[in-house]
């Protein structure tokens, strides 16, 4: 693997132009990197490019993005018709395809065959094991997780997830790359829920158990965290925004993988999901939503 400085301006290949991929492409281009954006769906690729343009326009309107930065970023992003074309000259490859183990494994087998030998290979998975995704790679030492948050152009955090076979140098390159994009990296060992979901879900489940036990109203439980701990949003409102079904799925996964009682889904959560109270997207969760 070559040193990081020779990779500084090497292109970033982003695989998947959906919710996360378009944002990763955008922030990489804003940081001055040439970007190759690939999606097997032409509609998704066009949609991703449209969203990037809209985000940058909004940034200019709000005075957060300079018009020259917008134009430069848009010029640096190129759509790629095939995965091979996208990764051929890449210094960093970031996969943001759907959350399916077999799909991600197969993508990285193709990436390994087509990308330069010293390219950093990263998955944006939010829940799968990084080491399992890398299982069939010839060089798993250059593979890691770079877990961005939605919306990527706004959220500062990136979890740099290293598996047992990730090289120290790879981890450091991941940290440096996240900083280059203006993000705040944290380093996390490959373990269920990484740091963010594990802590966030623990707080959310305890808040739901408190509603179940009639300790306080959802609004007052949220205010305990908002006013008492300066959280920007309480755990129940956040659960409504994420979706109660999504939260339940993650809790079940963490309960199975980490064991013990900590992540056992509360009955109230299961009941609300069964009743279709999924939070904001269904209009009803711990709060009523009319948007």
Task: Provide the minimum distance between the beta carbon of 216 and ligand NAD in the complex, in angstroms, as a whole number.
Answer: 29
Task: Compute the distance between CA of residue 44 and CA of residue 51 in angstroms, rounded to an integer.
Answer: 10
Residue whose C-alpha is closest to residue 120's, from 139, 99, 133, 96: 139
Residue nearest to ligand NAD (CB): 18
Paired with 80 in beta bridges are: 38
**What residues numbered 116-175 form the site for ligand NAD, per CB under 6 A?**
124-126, 147-150
Task: Provide the minimum distance between the beta carbon of 97 and ligand NAD in the complex, in angstroms, as a whole number.
Answer: 4
Task: Provide the minimum distance between the beta carbon of 203 and ligand NAD in the complex, in angstroms, as a whole number.
Answer: 18
Token pair 């908002």 is at which residue?
Answer: 226
Of 3-11, 32-40, 165-173, 230-238, the window that binds ligand NAD (rule: CB under 6 A) is 32-40
Task: Compute the distance between CA of residue 185 and CA of residue 183 in angstroms, rounded to an integer.
Answer: 6
Task: Provide the minimum distance between the beta carbon of 142 and ligand NAD in the complex, in angstroms, as a whole number.
Answer: 19
Q: Based on the shown chain and the rule CB under 6 A, indicate whether residue 82 belongs to the binding site for ligand NAD.
A: no
DSSP assignments along 104-139, one per residue: HHHHHHHHHHHS-TT-EEEE--SSS-HHHHTTT-S-
Using CB under 6 A, which of 16, 91, 140, 145 touches ligand NAD?
A: 16
Residue whose C-alpha is closest to residue 236's, from 250, 253, 249, 223: 223
Q: Based on the shown chain and the rule CB under 6 A, indicate whether residue 55 belongs to the binding site for ligand NAD.
A: no
Paired with 61 in beta bridges are: none
Task: Provide the minimum distance between the beta carbon of 271 and ligand NAD in the complex, in angstroms, as a whole number.
Answer: 25
Q: Based on the shown chain and the rule CB under 6 A, indicate whether residue 21 belongs to the binding site for ligand NAD.
A: yes
Q: Based on the shown chain and the rule CB under 6 A, indicate whether residue 98 belongs to the binding site for ligand NAD.
A: yes
Using CB under 6 A, which of 2, 6, 8, 41 touches ligand NAD?
A: 41
DSSP assignments along 239-253, one per residue: HHHH-HHHHHHHHHH
How big is the site for ligand NAD, counted in residues (CB under 6 A)? 25
Using CB under 6 A, which of 39, 159, 240, 245 touches ligand NAD?
A: 39
Whichever of 107 and 210 has its CB closer to ligand NAD, that residue is 107
Of 39-47, 157-165, 176-184, 281-289, the window that binds ligand NAD (rule: CB under 6 A) is 39-47
Using CB under 6 A, which of 65, 107, 115, 201 touches ligand NAD?
A: 107
What SS3 string covers 36-52? EEECCCHHHHHHHHHHH
Sheet holding 157-162, edge to edge: 77-80, 35-38, 12-15, 92-95, 120-123, 143-148, 157-162, 184-189
Using CB under 6 A, which of 1, 31, 44, 186 touches ligand NAD?
A: 44
Task: Compute the distance between CA of residue 123 and CA of residue 111 in angstroms, rounded to an integer.
Answer: 12
Exposed, middle or buried, 118 (CB in 10 Å: 0-12/13-18/19+)?
A: middle
**What residues numbered 205-264 form the site for ligand NAD, per CB under 6 A?**
none
Instruction: Catalog residues that contact ligand NAD under the rule CB under 6 A.
Output: 15-21, 38-41, 44, 96-99, 103, 107, 124-126, 147-150
């Amino acid at each position: 693997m070559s040193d990081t400085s020779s990779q500084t301006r090497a292109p970033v290949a982003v695989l998947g132009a959906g919710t996360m991929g378009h944002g990763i492409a955008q922030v990489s281009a804003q940081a001055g990197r040439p970007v190759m954006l690939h999606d097997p769906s032409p509609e998704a690729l066009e949609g991703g490019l449209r969203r990037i343009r809209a985000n940058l326009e909004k940034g200019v309107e709000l005075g957060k993005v300079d018009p020259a930065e917008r134009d430069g970023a848009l010029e640096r992003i190129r759509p790629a018709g095939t995965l091979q074309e996208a990764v051929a000259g890449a210094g960093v490859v970031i996969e943001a395809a759907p959350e399916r183990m077999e799909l991600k494994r197969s993508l990285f087998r193709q990436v390994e065959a087509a990308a330069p030998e010293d390219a950093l290979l990263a998955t944006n998975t939010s829940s799968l094991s990084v080491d399992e995704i890398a299982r069939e790679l010839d060089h798993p030492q250059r593979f890691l997780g770079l877990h961005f948050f939605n919306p990527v152009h706004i959220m500062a955090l990136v979890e740099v997830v290293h598996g047992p076979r990730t090289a120290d140098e790879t981890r450091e390159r991941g940290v440096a790359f996240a900083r280059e994009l203006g993000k705040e990296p944290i380093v996390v060992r490959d373990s269920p829920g990484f740091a963010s979901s594990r802590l966030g879900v623990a707080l959310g489940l305890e808040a739901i158990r408190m509603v179940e036990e009639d300790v306080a109203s959802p609004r007052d439980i949220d205010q305990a965290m908002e006013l008492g701990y300066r959280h920007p949003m309480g755990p129940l409102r956040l659960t409504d925004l994420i979706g109660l079904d999504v939260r339940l799925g993650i809790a079940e996964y963490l309960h199975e993988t980490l064991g013990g009682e900590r992540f056992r889904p509360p009955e109230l959560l299961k009941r609300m999901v069964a009743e279709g109270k999924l939070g904001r997207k269904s209009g009803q969760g711990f709060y009523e939503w009319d948007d």
